[in-house]
Structures are given as C-alpha cells and as structure tokens.
Amino acid sequence: MTTIFSSMKGLNFNIVQRRALRLRSKKHFTCFCTKMTMKPSSNIWIRRQQCPCGDWKCYVKYEGDDQTSVSSQLIKNETTSTSSSSEAVFMPYVGQIFKTDEDAFEYYSNFARKNGFSIRKARSTESQNLGIYRRDFVCYRSGFNQPRKKANVEHPRDRKSVRCGCDAKLYLTKEIVNGVTQWYISQFSNVHNHELLEDDQVRLLPAYRKIQEADQERILLLSKAGFPVNRIVKVLELEKGVQPGQLPFIEKDVRNFVRTCKKSVQENDALLTEKRENDTLELLEACKAMAERDADFVYDYTTDENSKIENISWSYADSVRAYTVFGDVVTFDTTYRSITYGLLLGVWFGIDNHGKPVFLGCALLQDESLNSFAWALQTFLRFMRGRCPQTVLTDIDSSLRDAIARELPDTKHVICSWHVHSKLSSWFTPSLGSQYEEFKAEFDMLCHLEGIEEFEHQWNHLVARFGLASDKHIALLFSYRTSWPLSYIRSYFLARSMTAEFYQSLDEFFKRILSGQTCLQLFFEQVGFAADLRNRSKEALQYMHTKTCLPIEENARSILTPYAFNALQHEIVLSMQYATTELANGSYLVRHYKKMEGEYLVIWISQDEQIHCSCKEFEHSGILCRHCLRVLTVKNYFEIPEKYILFRWRLESSLVALEDRNGQCNSDEYAQVFHSLAATLLTESLFTKERFNHVHRELSRLLEHVQNMPVSNEFASNMAANNISES
C-alpha cells in the first residue's frame, strides 16, 4: 500500500483518509455504534476459522459453507455489477436524459471511477413550483477549502485540503415532458487540473471506500473476540474470497472504525460479559432442573477462581442407552464456536444401525486448550460409565490429538476425511491457481490407495509435481498421515461413519440446534429436543429387493436394517464377478475376472468358521466384503456365520420402534405377481413391432396414471421410493 501512496503525485492521501474518517464518523459509524449498543446481542455461532497449522495469520475458508458462500457470492455480484456498469458507461454529454437525478449521479460516479477520479454533490436550486430543479455534481477536487478558525491548542493540526479548483462538472436540470418528470444534462466539462488515477489507485479514494453494515458488525464482533486489525482484514478477505488488498476498504479504515466505536465496543463487551455470566448460570440451573426431573440425566461443569463457569457438559438417558449399542465409533465434532460467549461447542455423535447420527453428549468449553479437551473427554467417559470407544473421529487439532492420546490411549484416533477435504481449497488454491482442480483430483485418488508404501510413493510424487515441498499445509497433512488416508486407517473400525450421507446428516443436526438464539438456555432446549429419541420418526421398513438367487442374500435381508442390507447386498452382487483359487493351507486367492492385478488373500479357518480378508473391509465397516462372500458361496454357505452379522447392524438393535414388518411378506407376494405378469407381457409383445409399440404406449399411460394417484399406504410409498432408487 505504501508503494501506491508514494507513487501518487499531487495527492495527499493522509488528508483524504482523515477527511473520509470525519465524514463517515458523522454518518455511518456513530449511527451504527449506537445501534450496536442498543441492540440485544444474539448468540452467534461461527465455524472455527483458525488454521490448525498454527500460523495465527492463516485462516480456513471452508468448502460448502453456506454463510461463506453467500458472502463470497455477494462480493462477486457486487464486483460484477460494478465492472459491468463501468464498461457500459460512456462520457456524458449535454442533452443526455435520465429518469431521476440519482440515476444521473450514479452514471456520472461510474464514469468518474472508470476515469480516475470521484465526484460529490455540490449545490442544488429549488423553486416553489418544481421543487428542486437543478443539481450540480462536481469533481471531488473542485473549489477551494475555506480557512478555518484554528483551535486554541498548543500544537494545532495543519490540515491541507485536497481541493485545487478543478473545473470538471456535470449540471442537471429538471423538466416535465407530457406530464413525465425527467432530468437532462445542461452543462458538462471533463477538464481536470490534476492528475487522474489508475484503476488500482482510484478504488482507494474516500468515495469508493465503504464499510457496509454487515461488515461493520463482523468487524466489531471480531474485535471483541480479541482479533487485531490486520487479522480482521485477513478474515474478511478469506470469507469474501478476494485477494489480499482487494476489499472495498483498507486496513486503516477498519482501524479508524474500531477506534471510533471503541466506547460502544467496550459497553458491548461489558454487556456480553454480563450476558455470558447470566446465561451460563441459567444453563446450569436448567441442567439441575433436568436432573431433578430425570434421574438418568447427567451433567458436570468447572469454575474458575472467581466461581464463574468455565466448562459445562451434559448428556441424556437416551444417549447413554444408545452408547451401549453404538458407542464403538464416536465422532467428536468441534466445528462451531459461539463468538458471543467465546465458547467452543463440542458434540459427541454415534452412528446407528440405519446410518443416522445419534446424539451422545454435548460440551461448551472456554477454549481449545489441551486441558479443556482433556476435561471434555474425561467427563464424557464418566457419563458413559467408563467404556471407551474403539475409534474416535475428529477434526485436525493438535491439542485435541494430545488429549485423546492421554485420556484414550487404547482408542484409535481418525481425522474425518470431510474435514481434510473442506480445507483443501483454502490451503492450496492461492498457490496452485488453475492447477488446483488437477491437484485435488490426484489428492482424492491418493486418499483411497490401500497400500502404505504406495501411498507414500504417490505422496512424494504429488508434492514434487506441484512444487509443494516447502508448503506448511502439506507438511501438516503428512504429519497426521497415520490418521486420515485409507491406507493407514483401513483396519480401524469406522462403521461407515465417514460417508457423505452421514456428514450431511450431521450438518442438518447442527442447523437445527444452531438456529437463531438469544440465550444458552434456548440452545439447551433445542439440543434436548433434537436428542430425544421420541422426536425421531419411526424407521419405516422399505421393501428390499433381492438381486441374486443366493440364499445368503435372502437370509441377510431378514436380519439387517435396510441401510446395512443395501451395503451388504452391494458386496454380494459384486462377489459374483470374482474367481477363487484355493491354496494348500485352505486359504483362497480371490481375483476379479477382468482385472489381473489386485488379488486378495482370504484366510478360512473351518474349525470355528473364521474368515479374514486382506482388504480389511469387515474390520473397517462391520460388513463382510465381496471376497469373503465369494469364498462362503464356494463353501456352499446358505447363511452368513452369526459372528459376521454384527448386532449394531441388526433390526433388533434399533433405538426407535420399527414399522410393522408384515409388509415385507406381503411385498414378496406382490413382487411375484408383477414379475409373472411382466414376463408374460414381454413374451407376447415381442412377436411384432406393432404389439411392442402398443404395450409400450399403454404401459407409459398406466405408469403416469398410477404416479398421479394419491398415496394412502405408507408401505406402498416406501416400496415405490425403493424401486426408484434401485432403477
């Protein structure tokens, strides 16, 4: 910025900035700060933006973040609008007509910006009959500054004016033609007696440096949270998706704005501190009241040396009961924090037998330190009666990683893949530019490699190809490599909790509990409602088609939930594409009939019906892989061994009562009738082309008619939905 200022001859930007501050202080800042003081503070939840790389200047802009996307889209639209309007503006001329004087001012302002200056409104002339009938718009350096009476101070400030008597102007005159009011240019001059500015300089003029109200509120909130001005600017640039230095205001504008509103910010801080103390006490009282109503409700909290609440955590009876079945894999989500209260939100989830998240517990933490995370882990284990999960999934966080290693030494720690992928754009787009999409495609392929050696070889190739050897984020990902690539975590039990569907369900849960709130007590009530299993709809049993004639499939359909059965059925269908070769020790080599590379070793121990595959799918998801299923078929198994149908995936483990299961039997009968009728119809229609066209036409009409019929039977609706998904 200094380079720009020094290169601008004949223009004192310090004067311009001071003048801009005076004008805005009178109009926007004072008004907004007063409103901020008067307005009750809402509880605002935002995504954690501090980058886990540890660099305080580095912030993360998340892919798929609605709020960020909206902000980015707004500034893109604003930029597009400005550029398009600028491109369409030609030099004004005498006689040019506008509908209103504001239209003329906007047109002239766009012309001025494109040509390196700004304008201001000068005098206006008014009459009794016409009202204001003349408007004068002039260059911002028009006229001369009138000398002011110096203040009675020891060292008065000698403020020089930017006005130099420039004669560039545009005068408007109002007329009424056929009863319609319009404005026309009566005088115009584009002669300047000063240097005009380049595009990258003109945007820094006071007329074009504006802090919108939404940005003002964001700046004050970040300032309240302790962010210095340079970090506030960095956050805004990341949120809006613009390059550094391309905001419609500069760092000094932000500093002046914060200074002007300092008193209001301090008053706000006092109000927010009081609000936090009061609301956390109300939250504690709500927990106590809940514990009195429900003896199985559990909560705990810590206080500081002033007896003020620091951390608080709670869980419900339904959550503790669900943990006994689905506590093998838990997700500890720490994505959100309350900027109003300065609290980090941590929520524990499990995944049930229908692939949906089940709430296990909640914690509000004062900070993101090792001690806070350690307390949250200790408290959660105490709530869950000391039983540790097999696997815990989290975001990338060094303090959380250390806390898990200390408090859960026997638990596998996995970094959620969606947390990694959501940061890639923010991390690598600035350095890679147009190469980013290619990098991302190769990175995705890298994540799914099965061998550790192959992963590390391809990783080194990726880093070298895109010149990322010295990149701090590449180094960060590699330091966590034992926790996120498939090649390292293949043998960890995840119960399908890293699927896109599960992540979307978590996102929907947060949208329900983080909607507009004014206090923590309301947040507590929303969490309680979302966690209550009585508020979950019954899981309707969809009709599950069989796709093969294998007895294994038929048997599994009667035991597993539709979610688990669909996953197993996919493996059963694919198992038919594999060939087996029996080895001398009774094990099998399983290979795809087309792919010569990538064989898998399946170990079969007949004495106690043990089966293990080198792909580790069962250890990873709890669903038998296609390779094991192929061997069981070869061994003439009509049912999957009991130990390989986990209780967590069975119908009987459902937390919510299921719909009537008699519908499955009726659906089988319906399917047989339709299959018989369809087979006969197909045979008869193939004799001639006329028959086929007639059958096709009539069936299309029949299908359209049936689709328009009202649905009164829930089972029929489920079966129809399943048919559509299968097709």
263 and 180 housed in the same domain: no
**Across all residues in the chain, what is the average pLDDT?**
82
Domain of residue 591, residue span: 551-653
**Per-residue confidence band for 704, with pLDDT thresholds at 50, 70 and 90:** confident
Is residue 102 helix, strand or coil? helix
Is residue 350 helix, strand or coil? strand
445 and 471 housed in the same domain: yes
Q: Which of 127, 84, 81, 98 is nearest to 188 (CA)?
A: 98
**Per-residue confidence band for 244, with pLDDT thresholds at 50, 70 and 90:** confident
341 and 231 housed in the same domain: no
**Per-residue confidence band for 541, with pLDDT thresholds at 50, 70 and 90:** low
Locate the DSSP E strands across 129-201.
Answer: 131-139, 169-177, 180-189
Look at residue 608 and tell me if it is in a domain. yes
Query: How far does CA 668 lie from the centroid of its chain?
Result: 42
> In the listed set 503, 531, 559, which residue is the last one of a domain according to the structure?
531
Structural domain count, the chain: 5
97-98 and 336-338 strand pairing: unpaired
Look at residue 452 and tell me if it is in a domain. yes
Look at residue 79 and tell me if it is in a domain. no
CA-based max dimension of the chain: 110
Q: Residues 663-686: pLDDT tens digits?
A: 444 555 566 667 677 777 888 888
Look at residue 270 and tell me if it is in a domain. yes
196 and 128 housed in the same domain: yes
587 and 675 housed in the same domain: no
Look at residue 702 and tell me if it is in a domain. no
pLDDT of residue 712: 52
- Measured between its terminal Cα atoms, the distance across the chain in Å is 60
Look at residue 578 and tell me if it is in a domain. yes
* Average pLDDT value for residue range 515-537: 81
Residues sharing a CB contact under 8 Å with residue 444, sequence separation 6 or more, in sequence order: 421
Name the token pair of 538: 């019954």
Determine the Cα–Cα distance for residues 135 and 126; give it in Å rounded to an integer: 9
527 and 438 housed in the same domain: yes
378 and 489 housed in the same domain: yes
Q: Which of 481, 195, 505 is nearest to 359 (CA)?
A: 505
309-315 and 357-365 strand pairing: antiparallel
Identify which has the larger pLDDT, 326 or 57.
326
277 and 416 housed in the same domain: no
356 and 239 housed in the same domain: no
| Spatial contact of 398 and 476, defined as CB atoms under 8 Å apart | no
> In the listed set 293, 320, 339, which residue is the last one of a domain according to the structure?
293
325 and 471 housed in the same domain: yes
pLDDT of residue 163: 86
482 and 504 housed in the same domain: yes
| Spatial contact of 314 and 16, defined as CB atoms under 8 Å apart | no
Determine the Cα–Cα distance for residues 41 and 275; give it in Å rounded to an integer: 9
pLDDT of residue 286: 94
Q: Which of 555, 520, 504 is nearest to 279 (CA)?
A: 520
400 and 513 housed in the same domain: yes
Q: Residues 569-594: pLDDT tens digits?
A: 999 999 999 999 999 888 999 999 98
3-state secondary structure 583-631: CCCCCEEEEECCCCCCCEEEEEECCCCEEEECCCHHHHHCCCCHHHHHH
Look at residue 3 and tell me if it is in a domain. no
Look at residue 171 and tell me if it is in a domain. yes
**Per-residue confidence band for 287, with pLDDT thresholds at 50, 70 and 90:** very high
Using a cut of 0.85, tell me whether the model's pTM lies above it: no
> In the listed set 248, 266, 293, which residue is the last one of a domain according to the structure?
293
Residue 147 DSSP code: P
Identify which has the larger pLDDT, 77 or 136.
136
Q: Residues 338-380: pLDDT tens digits?
A: 877 889 999 999 999 999 999 999 999 999 999 999 999 999 9
